[in-house]
Amino acid sequence: MPIYEFLCADCLSFELILPMGTAPDVVACPTCRGDARRRITAPHISRTASSAFALIDAANRSAHEPAVVDSKKPGVRTGQTPRYTSNPLHQKLPRP
Ligand SMILES: [Zn+2]
């Protein structure tokens, strides 16, 4: 649905998402309940094929629809922990 921008004489402009062709010329301002007139603005057209917009869209989408993780983090091994030292006394140190 398109985004319509309205301007109140006393307040700032605000946007409403309405079905196409149903936006009235005047709506009530959400702040002061006065009349707010619809503004004619440039459409928000973007090049959706670029990788930058794909990344932005993915980041925005992850806020509402986080991806389900069905496997463990890559590089994490299970079982015996790797040895970082050859000193046998280090094996007696407490583990997290
Ligand atoms: Zn207002």
Number of domains in the chain: 1
Alpha-carbon distance of 27 to 58, in angstroms, equals 34
Q: What is the DSSP letter of 71?
A: S
Give percent of the chain above pLDDT 90: 30
Q: Which pLDDT value is given to residue 78?
A: 65
- 23 part of a folded domain: yes
Residue 62 placed within a domain: no
The reply to whether 34 falls in a domain is yes
* Residues around the ion ligand 1 (C-beta < 5 A): 8, 10-11, 29, 31-32, 34
CA of 10 to the centre of ligand 1 (A): 5
Pick the more confident residue, 57 or 72: 57
Q: Which of 22, 32, 21, 28 shows the shortest CA–CA distance to 6? A: 28
Tell me if 28 sits within 8 A of 41, measured CB to CB.
Answer: no
pLDDT grade for 67, boundaries at 50, 70 and 90: confident
The 10s digit of each residue's pLDDT in 30-66 is: 999 999 999 988 877 766 667 888 888 888 888 888 7
Residue 57 domain flag: no
Residue 27 belongs to what domain range? 3-39
pLDDT > 70: percent of the chain: 86
Determine the 3-state secondary structure of 5 from DSSP. Answer: strand
Residue 25 in any domain: the answer is: yes
